[in-house]
Amino acid sequence: MIIDNHGRQINYVRLAVTDRCNLRCFYCMPDEGIDFVSRDELLTYEEMLRLARLLASEGINKIRITGGEPFVRKNMDQFILNLSQVKGIDTIRITTNGTVTAAYIPVLQQAGIDTINLSLDTLDKERFYKITRRDVFDKVINCLHQLIDNGFKVKINMVVMSGLNHQDIIPMARLAEQHPVSVRFIEEMPFNGDGRLPDTTWNYRQIEQHLLETFPSLEKKPYKPASTTYDYSVTGFKGDLGIIAAYSRTFCGTCNRIRVTPQGMLKTCLYDNGVFDLKALMRNGANDEDLVVAIKSACSNRAKDGFEAERANFSSGRSLSSMTSIGG
Ligand code: SAM
Ligand code: SF4
């Protein structure tokens, strides 16, 4: 088992399989001038599978595939199928922008993946373009409906930003009135690749208040330990709502997750800068035991929360990282 220095068991890894993406979401990366890493700097699928097996042997039972956009990496289908065979991993989840995902529905079903997190920040085509800088709104909406029709549990992630899409909070919430989906509102975090600090107007309290004004029956569900989400029910809704206080960081106390970036850096907190180079260790011929020792040692030196990690890593108070290179 991997237990951190604050007594928290780690059982969840977020694996970013690429830093590349076919969108350019405003809050995630700049429109131009992004230095994507070269192919040989990315972890290979074999290296990722090796890590998955080792982590599973140490009690990790849940993996989220993220990126970048996972489905722009070639041969993702085979990787997903191989990952689904790893003993001990009983939950695989994927976060995707939905642009090319529909084509993978049969593979996802074959791999036993039943829940998909789909990023969608607005139901307005023009605002979608403004946020993502790409004209693929119809594809994403089509993907959403295909996922629902094929029986997937869909969690829709909306990053809330003043001016850009706050006017979509209620229309997006209504998706959960009409469909059995979870719509989750996320506070913007400072990982846009250009050091811009997020506008904190739409923090979790403000989002909750705004929802309550339209949906007075909004009711907070009991908090699930290690969850990043406050879940809510609304009378008459087929689905539910959620708020993720990603910048206020209210959930760090029970954090059970680590991350592996596309370049194979281990992160023990979203707000740290990468604490150990797993790829270098693997490519220098480390055996499995060396790798486990390195991972456990990094976890025994873990920041208490995202504020501590941020203070230690970004003394200027600003991260120049892009979410696409961190693995959102
Ligand atoms: N490309 C996939 C997608 O968009 O779903 C997966 C990677 S993306 C980095 C993962 C998640 O991080 C998405 O739900 C996205 O909305 C969220 N995200 C990206 N940048 C963010 C930021 N600065 N603040 C809050 N959430 C962010
Ligand atoms: Fe791409 Fe996802 Fe980042 Fe948007 S949030 S630019 S879809 S990686």
The per-residue pLDDT for range 30-86, each reduced to its tens digit, is 998 888 899 999 999 999 999 999 999 999 999 999 999 999 999 999 999 999 999
Residue 249 pLDDT more than 70? yes
Mean pLDDT, all residues of the chain: 94
What pLDDT was estimated at residue 205? 96
Residue 207 pLDDT more than 80? yes
DSSP H/E element including 22: none
What pLDDT was estimated at residue 277? 96
Q: Which of 23-32, 47-56, 263-272, 303-312 has the lowest mean pLDDT?
A: 303-312
One-letter amino acid at 312 equals A
CB 257 within 8 A of CB 13: yes
Residue 326 pLDDT more than 80? no
pLDDT band for position 108 (cuts 50, 70, 90) = very high
Q: Which of 122-126, 216-220, 245-249 has the lowest mean pLDDT?
A: 245-249
Range 88-109 average pLDDT: 98
Residue 319 pLDDT more than 80? no
Nearest CA, atom 4, ligand 2:
25
- CA of 27 from ligand 2 middle (Å) equals 8
Alpha helix segments (H runs only) across 10-136:
45-57, 76-84, 105-110, 125-132
Total tally of structural domains belonging to the chain: 1
User: Mapping DSSP to helix (H, G, I), strand (E, B) and coil, where does residue 17 land?
Assistant: coil
CB 23 within 8 A of CB 99: yes
Ligand nearest to the CA of 271: 1
From the CA of 189, give the closest atom in ligand 1.
Answer: 24
pTM of this structure = 0.95
Hey, which of 28, 66, 244, 322 would you mutate to test ligand 2's pocket, going by the most ligand atoms within 8 Å of its Cβ? 28
What pLDDT was estimated at residue 79? 98
Q: Is the dihedral of CA 203, 204, 207, 213 positive or negative?
A: negative
Ligand 1 touching residue 51 (CB < 6 A): no
Residue 282 pLDDT more than 80? yes
Ligand 2 first shell, C-beta below 6 A: 21, 23-25, 28-29, 67-69, 97, 119, 323-324
CB 16 within 8 A of CB 262: yes
From the CA of 327, give the closest atom in ligand 1.
Answer: 9
In which domain, by residue range, is 235 found? 2-326
Ligand 1 touching residue 230 (CB < 6 A): no
Ligand 1 touching residue 16 (CB < 6 A): no
Q: Under 8 Å CB-to-CB from 295, ≥6 apart: which residues?
A: 2, 54, 55, 58, 258, 266, 276, 278
What pLDDT was estimated at residue 266? 96
What pLDDT was estimated at residue 315? 62
Between CA 172 and CA 149 the distance in angstroms is 19
Residue 317 pLDDT more than 70? no
What pLDDT was estimated at residue 140? 98
pLDDT band for position 260 (cuts 50, 70, 90) = very high
pLDDT band for position 261 (cuts 50, 70, 90) = very high
Taking every pair of Cα atoms in the chain, the longest distance, rounded to a whole number of angstroms, is 59
Ligand nearest to the CA of 20: 2
CATH number at residue 190: 3.20.20.70
Between CA 215 and CA 234 the distance in angstroms is 7
Ligand 1 touching residue 165 (CB < 6 A): no
Nearest CA, atom 10, ligand 1:
328
Hey, which of 117, 135, 324 would you mutate to test ligand 2's pocket, going by the most ligand atoms within 8 Å of its Cβ? 324
- CA of 326 from ligand 1 middle (Å) equals 10
Q: Are strands 229-233 and 9-10 parallel, antiparallel or unpaired?
A: unpaired
Q: What percent of the chain has pLDDT over 70?
A: 98
